[in-house]
Amino acid sequence: MRRRLLAFAALLAFLGGGLAAVLVATGSSGSHTRTEARTASRPAAGPKAKPKPRIVQGPHDSPVPVLMYHVLGIPRPGTPYPELWVKPADLAGQMDWLQSHGYHAVTLGQVFRYWREGVALPPKPFVASFDDGYLSDFTVAMPTLRRHGWAGVLNLVVENIKPGDITSWQVRRLIKAGWEIDAHTISHADLTALDAAQLRHEVAGSRANLRHRFGQPVDFFCYPAGRYNTSAVAAVRAAGYLGATTTNPGLARPGQAYTLSRIRISYSDGVGGFAEKLAQATR
């Protein structure tokens, strides 16, 4: 009798342990499954998708004013070409006038995306372009445009990247501020007076140099002193540029991609003369 009781007790212990193991396993699995379900229901973290650009429905070939600036400052008596200068206070007043009249600064790249792909531009777009590469592009133009949330276009001569004009570090700061960097030759040479090899060096060489130095597309070219001929235009096309700006007065139009007109801003314009030039061009 005693042996029977002991055997029965051993059987109960065995069965109880097995049942406990099953319950523990089931509970753990259920808890793990519920945790997985909760985790799976959470949205995955990741970078926010960029909003798709708005595409214009209908024509997208409107002309755009491209303003042409050079040095920002007050020229000393006897300075060559004083009309190429613009007072910093006048630049500020001109940008204030543009904003108060509903204008918005864009880059040439944005203009071409509008012309070619129909990517919408802001109301009343304009391009602020600055030729050659001067210290004032960094010290005056950048903060002046930045106050309005705008960026400009720097038409950069490679040999002007040096202390006293504009340094590589300052150009990179412009890029960080959203500026577009375009080529204006190696040495600001008259392209109409060069042979084929020299022309290729100034046009294609400047693009290659700036792309390597700053890692930017450099998709546009600016003819030094506005001088160009059929050979210069052919060299610009062959170098892979999408377009080029001149000193021809007027608005930039999509049918003249390699001879884009601009509006020259001069020292004597002030704000009133500036507004009149823009009004004449856009009539």
- Give me the half-sphere count of Cα atoms (radius 13 Å) on the Cβ side of residue 121: 28
- Report how many domains make up the chain: 1
| Reported pTM | 0.82
Please give the distance of CA 84 from its chain centroid, rounded to a whole number: 26
Please give the distance of CA 251 from its chain centroid, rounded to a whole number: 21
pLDDT number for residue 52: 85
Q: How confident is the model at residue 133 (pLDDT cuts 50, 70, 90)?
A: very high
146 within a domain of the structure (yes/no): yes
Cα separation, 269 vs 258, whole angstroms: 28
49 within a domain of the structure (yes/no): no
45 within a domain of the structure (yes/no): no
Which tens digit of pLDDT belongs to each residue from 217-258? 999 999 999 999 999 999 999 999 999 999 999 999 999 999
DSSP label of 222: E
- Give me the half-sphere count of Cα atoms (radius 13 Å) on the Cβ side of residue 228: 25
50 within a domain of the structure (yes/no): no
CA nearest 243: which of 72, 78, 113, 83?
113
Cα separation, 6 vs 24, whole angstroms: 27
DSSP label of 141: I
Q: How confident is the model at residue 47 (pLDDT cuts 50, 70, 90)?
A: low
212 within a domain of the structure (yes/no): yes
Taking CA atoms, 156 is separated from 74, 183, 186, in Å, by 21, 5, 9
Would you tell me the crossing angle of helices 270-282 and 88-100 to the nearest 10 degrees? 50
Structure tokens at 231: 């050979």
pLDDT number for residue 48: 66
161 within a domain of the structure (yes/no): yes
Q: Which range marks the domain in which residue 141 is found?
A: 66-282
29 within a domain of the structure (yes/no): no
Taking CA atoms, 212 is separated from 50, 153, 158, 209, 233, in Å, by 28, 18, 12, 5, 23
Cα separation, 185 vs 281, whole angstroms: 28
CATH code for the domain in which residue 165 is found: 3.20.20.370
Which tens digit of pLDDT belongs to each residue from 253-270? 999 999 999 999 999 999
* Radius of gyration for the alpha carbons in the chain, expressed in angstroms and rounded: 33
Residue 280: exposure state from Cβ atoms within 10 A (0-12, 13-18, ≥19)? exposed
219 within a domain of the structure (yes/no): yes
